[in-house]
Structure 1
């Protein structure tokens, strides 16, 4: 391979589209959550907020490019693109598309609203319903394909199973961010209730997968080093579940009161706070375990692949949750830990983004396991 030439690993530039998979959208998740976290650090440091906004704008460009490339793959290489439905690993990454979009939507509220005014809320509202539709579809259709046409076994299981399921609770947390900014009380109420449904649609299923994952790790030990980053994915649904309860719960008193249910709103706020704290504690266990597992992998060497983006979003959403708890509880401990987690996230993002940029430039990251599996199947006939 001639590393100094762009796309040197590909026979032609069009091959990048042919080999494009949803795994790339994990980069928009990691980039988006760092952008949001930088703007939520204690003290509202202007330079970090501006840096976060710039990163959010860059993430919009990334998401747009990836969407165009993946859409082009379905148009130009339909037969190969549809192979993803039968692939036991790559199909899971469908969930990264709505989750990547959610970071863009949240940024509209966090960065777009102060800069461009209330018009962006209409955009966020519309995009959120699109995100919800995709999350609902991923959450049930991918498991259905797991049950009917894909080959799985406990010893080959990883936390990647969580990706299609978690998209709904990410949308729920986004609903909690957007709802207070809607001008119509009925729209606020619809979004609040939908967010609770999305949370319930996702979190219990994710927790059940985590139970199976613990059993799998105890019986079959750690997965192959190619899946090293998957150890962090377990932190994602826990952190997002906590964040969802916190933000939706904080909206509940006002929105329920506007519909004559003030007492329910007060209870919902209390449940949100307690659930958020308890989920944060569970997340701490998983994070410490993920750190120990990662240290073990590092000793033997971890080959780089797009799965490394799994190091970023789960840590990022846990960091944002920690900062949210610090702001709501006014406890310095959470502020300090939140800052520490954002620093860790920043370092990891720089490493992964650098390696991804280099791999994309050379072209060696544009590899579709679905095509490889199809070619092997055809060769075996």
Structure 2
């Protein structure tokens, strides 16, 4: 069930054309007036489905072709949303500024960064089957650069706005606060795929160490924020029903950091001197395995909370896309552990999580399409 929130109509002022007998000017692009940055989560989830499928250790006949098609869909969604959001800012600047002033909305600007980087990473991982390696690498480089810059800005500006302009009590803390802080970790995980395409020496080493710096930036920022989220659950009770799926967002930095650790180990031998490259090859085991253990603990906790919320009538909302991309990062993380340890248990874990991801994506996509057709997700002006 999709719950729609009606938008109250403002009374016409005395000078309104409606009262003076003149025809009121028609608003341009009314369909995008309520289009917020949270819609980029659909792009992230779709790109994550493609990338996770391509990363699975087990090769399923036909799966890579399907993943290439899913990646193409994510690219179409990204371009469409970029155009729609440009129309939103052009014709509904008042609404766009209201989003920036809303502490519940502004963290979703981190989704723009992650959508750009995720689609770019998908191009290098599976989109190259259709576009060719050269075009895929070029697209990945452009989207990675743009997404990383947006992510760095969001990682600074959003916490600043939350701390300076807004006043939130502990009960107002939600996992959504993590979104701008996770964005640099997505760049850290995707960047190493570009390392082999750079000239040997300084270029490769700079990019890899830059990704390692993004890894630390995001990891420490999330480490400071996650206790607030956990403390809020322990002291203020469960999240509101519509926000309960956002508990899955915590899996994003966990799974993505494990993925990044595996990708650092893959790229290090050709980018860094032997001692440092050898040290990074230990990272998937020494860091990745413990963090994956915590990710599974949080996954179980989030599932219990979602089951409780569902029993109490939680209907579909765009927050259901939180079930997709974070789980996809755990798939790629488990696949990286399987690749670097040779332990078949991680292969099985990646397969199980991917099956759950497919179900989650299908559910979120179906609910979104149904809500759009019914006009419940993007109310139109009357």
TM-score by length of 2: 0.89
Of 165-174 and 37-46, more deviation after overlay is shown by 37-46
Distance 1:367 1:172 in 2: 37
Aligned to 1:57: 72
* Cα drift, residue 123 of structure 1: 2.8
* Cα drift, residue 211 of structure 1: 0.9
Mind listing any 5+ residue stretches in structure 2 that lack a counterpart?
A: 1-8, 10-25
Aligned to 1:354: 366
Q: How many matched pairs?
A: 356
Aligned to 2:346: 334
RMSD: 2.0
Aligned to 1:28: 43
Distance 1:171 1:367 in 2: 34
SS in structure 1 of the partner of residue 271 of structure 2 = helix
Q: Equivalent of 2:329, from 317, 325, 334?
A: 317
Matches within 5 A, 1:133-148: 133-148=149-164
Distance 2:57 2:279 in 1: 28
Matches within 5 A, 1:1-381: 14-115=29-130, 116-256=132-272, 261-366=273-378
Of 144-153 and 111-120, more deviation after overlay is shown by 111-120
* Cα drift, residue 112 of structure 1: 3.3
Q: Which runs of 4+ in 1 moved over 4 A?
A: 10-13
Distance 1:77 1:12 in 2: 9
Aligned to 2:23: none
Distance 2:136 2:124 in 1: 7
Aligned to 1:7: none
Distance 2:200 2:374 in 1: 50
Q: Would you say the 8 A contact 1:235–1:286 is kept in 2?
A: yes
* Cα drift, residue 323 of structure 1: 1.6
CA offsets per residue over residues 142-164 of structure 1, 9 Å max, x none?
Answer: 00000111231211211011001
Distance 1:241 1:38 in 2: 18
Aligned to 2:18: none
Q: Would you say the 8 A contact 1:249–1:270 is kept in 2?
A: yes
